[in-house]
Structure 1
Amino acid sequence: MQIPNGWPRRRWAWVAGLGVAALLVLTVMDLGQHYHVPLGAVFALAIARALALGLAWLRPRLAVVVSLFTTAVTAALTTPVASSEPWPWGTTAAFGHSFVLAIAGARGLGRRELVGWWVATQAVGIVAIELAPDRGSWSSLIAMAVLSAAAVVVGDLLRSRAETNRRLAEQETISKAERAERERLQERARIARELHDVVAHHLSVVVVRADSAPHRLPDVPDAVRAEFTGIADEARASLTEMRRVLRLLREPVQQTGELGPQPGLDQLAELVESTRRAGADVQLVGEVPSGFDPAVELTAYRVVQEGLSNAVRHALHAAVQVAVRRRTGELEVTVQNEKPPRPVVPAPGSGHGLTGMRERVALLDGTVSAGPTPEGGYLVHALIPVGEEMASGDHGHGR
């Protein structure tokens, strides 16, 4: 792929301009002092030589054509003042043409094309010696052959380096875009999970409390009963709409971390109590250990939260038991409800809760099982590895 051409910028623009001017002056001095050539031709050839060098930055192929043509015309119009002077290639001709080849190569001419121009240059020198053997010798072609060959190599290396840098820059841009996209998807997954774990839980509690209020409160007027029914219906509709949004937000991206303050096992009793206030028969069995890694406590809290949400949606009037126990190297979390005494119309669900719970526990190399019990109830059971370390202040919290 060709590299975009253009005149150098900043300080290199001055370097390029001075190089063109220097080649113009040196060509005039070289031709005027070491060769028999009319003065008008000296300036014309010097201007053509400088023009070719300037064009090398802007139009590489045209620059090589102009340079080689100028070199051939210079050989045809000049005669050395002494046999020691190089011919057909003068000093400025050899260096000027080599610089043009190097810059043209750096500006995008391919390797094969550069080699072709190098061959054409040597061919011009051979023809010149054949036509005017008295002006020079075969050995005078060596300098041009070596200089132009070095120019071809340098030009090709510069072009390859520029292309490599461009590809690295493109790859870095792609990598940044991929990282940004990955972070975006992770954030979407985090938002979806937190919406379900927090908002869905509380909306489920609203539904349950509104549905059960006419049964829990004595002498509820019909107007109030209808109001409770409307609240429950609106909350169910909100749950449905929110879960539609969750389907758009959730992506198959692993969660890498949590942002902001997160609940732990210290808040478990409060969670159970809030669910009990909604009318559910929930008991926190035994003492709740603490002092674990925050990620472990957060995961255990979310398992209980999701288990309770499922219980109040599908078995409101059934007794629910929550237990968190420390085993050897593991934290065991269970949420089990008995068979509901009467059928319950569950609030709408999306299945994201159990999926998110399994993902959370799997990130800590734990396991989760959830399913009906032989007695007709439902059991959520999680084992979360915690290692042998525990804070020295390990203690329990009752209900």
Structure 2
Amino acid sequence: MWDAVLVAVALVDVRIHFAPDEPLRMVCALLAALVLPARRRLPSLTFLCALPSALVSDAVFATLAALYTLASLSRHRVLLAGCALAYAACDLTWWSWPAPEFLEPHESSALVTVTYSVATGAAPVFLGQLVQARRELSLRLDEISEARAHERLLLAQGVLARERAQLAREMHDVVSHQVSLIAVRAGALQVGSRDPGTREAASTIRRLSVQTLEELRHMVSVLRASGSRPTELTPQPSLADLRRLVDSSGIEAELRTDLPDDLPPAVQRAVYRTVQEALTNVRKHAPGATATIHLLRRGGTVHATVANTAPTRPALPLPGAHHGLVGLRQRAELLGGTVTSGPTPDGGYSLRLELPAEATT
């Protein structure tokens, strides 16, 4: 639409400034008007085709329109300055074409005429550059808006990932711990009871517990897929809860501790979760074994060791995803500590945690 409007205005400009007995000038002016639709695809060529119109006549609308378009699309300022000066030179000599006569420097009107022609050529260049800068600024603002929207999306995804990772940790540390205890107790009842009804009920409880553990394992794997640095949920266990944990573990375990009660909450939680995971592994992989839990502070380091003897009967086939030790190591690393584990010479197993006593997270 705008192309048709520009061509129409340029033709009107030609009609106003030319008579039928000026064919050369008419052809140059018509050429300038008719090439305007190509100004966006070929801006430099369009301006060159329109420039003769400014040289042979004062029908300059098409030439100025082509110069404006070139300035709005090009970043080559030397080229634009040369085009503006070329237009000014043509505008100064058109009245005497084809034998151009230049103004005498001493003439009083020379400075005004030159200034007018240069300003006329510079105006579309400055306007085109201004439009180009405005367009680029609008694009930059759009890019900034998109970047901010993407940043907000990433932030929301990060928060969700941290929540999912923490939920996976809590499911493994708390829910799986309790369900595995139910499965172990049900298995012991199934083996030790002489009543057929009781044995059948215990078998059902154990089977359902195993299925629940398998489903929990799958859910924890899915939640851990978005892994992130966890944020702690409240309420959280502390050293004061260790005795209850050991007594309800279903394992013959000895707890020896001289840790003070004023350790940072993060350290207390790490110690609790380490003992909890170790006892869960003893129940699952070393039935009939006894355990020793030794907690002490030596200098600025907290040491927690959970060791168990060799199992006295075959382990029950309980499902596991092997995320427990991985989670303990991740938690310890966040606090600047380490977790090591391995078999003992007597056929048992030992899990050791070392943490800075003043660690926080």
TM-score w.r.t. length of structure 1 = 0.66
Contact 1:118 1:152 in 2 (8 A): no
Deviates more, 1:246-255 or 1:229-238: 246-255
1:111 is the counterpart of 2:75: yes
Report the RMSD for the aligned CA atoms in angstroms.
Answer: 4.0
Match of 1:260 among 234, 248, 261: 234
Whole-Å Cα distance in 1 between the matches of residues 158 and 206 of structure 2? 38
For the 8 Å contact 1:328–1:388, the answer to whether it is kept is no
SS of aligned partner of 2:227? coil
**Residue 239 (structure 2) pairs with residue 275 (structure 1):** no
Residue 227 of structure 1, CA deviation: 1.2
Task: Tell me if the contact between 2:332 and 2:355 (Cα under 8 Å) persists in the aligned partners.
Answer: yes
Shift of 1:287: 4.4
Q: Do the aligned partners of residues 348 and 312 (structure 1) sit closer, same or farther apart at CA in structure 2, a change above 3 Å counting?
A: same
Residue of structure 1 in register with 2:9 after alignment: none
Number of the residue aligned with 1:195: 171
1:36-89 CA-to-partner distances (Å, cap 9, x unmatched) read 99xxxxxxxxxxxxxxxxxxxxxx959x99xx98xx79x9569xxxxxxxxx89
Q: Deviations over 1:302-345 (max 9, x none)?
A: 11110010011112211112222122111111111111222222
Pair 1:238-2:212 in alignment: yes
Letter in 1 for 2:145: A
The aligned counterpart of 2:95 is 132
The 1-side partners of 2:291 and 2:317 are apart by 16
Give the paired residue count. Answer: 313
Q: CA deviation at 1:97?
A: 7.1
After superposition, give the CA deviation of every residue in 1:358-397 in whole Å (9 maximum; x if it has no partner).
11111101111111110111111101111499xxxxxxxx
Aligned to 1:378: 349
1:208 to 178, 184, 189: 184
Q: Higher mean Cα deviation, 325-334 or 167-176?
A: 167-176
Q: After the TM superposition, which residues 81-96 of structure 1 pair with which residues of structure 2 at under 5 Å, given as runs?
A: none
Pick one of 222, 225, 245 that aligns with 1:248: 222
The answer to whether the aligner puts 1:180 opposite 2:125 as a matched pair is no
Aligned partner letter, 2:344: T
Alignment of 1:70-89 (within 5 A): 76=57
Q: Secondary structure at the match of 2:249?
A: helix
Post-superposition Cα deviations, 1:265-288, rounded to whole Å, max 9, x if no partner, equal 111111112113xxx212222445
- The answer to whether the Cα contact below 8 Å between 2:164 and 2:226 also exists between their aligned partners in 1 is no
Q: Which is worse superposed, 248-257 or 342-351?
A: 248-257
Secondary structure in structure 2 of the residue aligned to 1:341: coil
Q: Which amino acid aligns with 1:273?
A: D
Identity of aligned residues (%): 29
Matched residues in 2 for 1:286 and 1:174: separation? Answer: 50
Distance 1:326 1:346, change over 3 A: farther
The DSSP-based 3-state class of the residue aligned with 1:111 is coil
- Residue of structure 1 aligned with 2:289, choices 318, 321, 344: 318
Counterpart residue number, 2:130: 154
Partner of 1:260: helix, strand, or coil? coil
Does 2:274 correspond to 1:300?
A: no
The equivalent of 2:315 in structure 1 is 344
For residues 99 and 151 of structure 1, the distance between their equivalents in structure 2, rounded to whole angstroms, comes to: 10
Cα offset, 1:299, TM superposition: 1.0
Task: Give 3-state SS (helix, strand or coil) of 1:332's partner.
Answer: strand
2:309 partner letter: E
5+ unaligned residues in a row in structure 1: which ranges?
1-35, 38-59, 79-87, 390-399
2:322 and 2:278 map into 1 onto residues whose CA distance is 12
1:369 alignment partner, one of 332, 340, 343: 340
Could you tell me whether the CA contact under 8 Å between 1:289 and 1:324 is conserved in 2?
Answer: no
Q: Is the 8 A contact 1:203 1:239 kept in 2?
A: yes
- State the alpha-carbon separation in 2 of the partners of residues 238 and 312 from structure 1: 17
Measured in 1, the distance between the counterparts of 2:249 and 2:186 equals 13
Whole-Å separation in 2 of the counterparts to 1:213 and 1:201: 18
- Measure the CA separation in 2 of the matches of 1:228 and 1:129: 108
Q: Find 2:199's aligned residue among 215, 218, 225.
A: 225
- Structure 2 unpaired stretches of 5+: 1-15, 18-38, 104-112
**Are residues 110 and 209 of structure 1, via their aligned partners in 2, closer, same or farther at CA, if it must alter by over 3 Å?**
farther
Number of the residue aligned with 1:168: 144
Query: 1 CA distance for matches of 2:359 and 2:289?
Result: 36
Tell me which moved more, 118-127 or 142-151: 118-127
- 1:214 Cα deviation from its structure 2 partner: 4.2
- Partner-residue secondary structure (3-state), 1:321: strand
Q: What is the identity, as a one-letter code, of the residue corresponding to 2:164?
A: R
Aligned residue for 1:284, secondary structure, equals strand
Deviation string for 1:184-210 (max 9, x for gaps)? Answer: 222221111111111110111010110
2:255 corresponds to which residue? 284
CA contact (8 A) 1:361 1:384 kept: yes
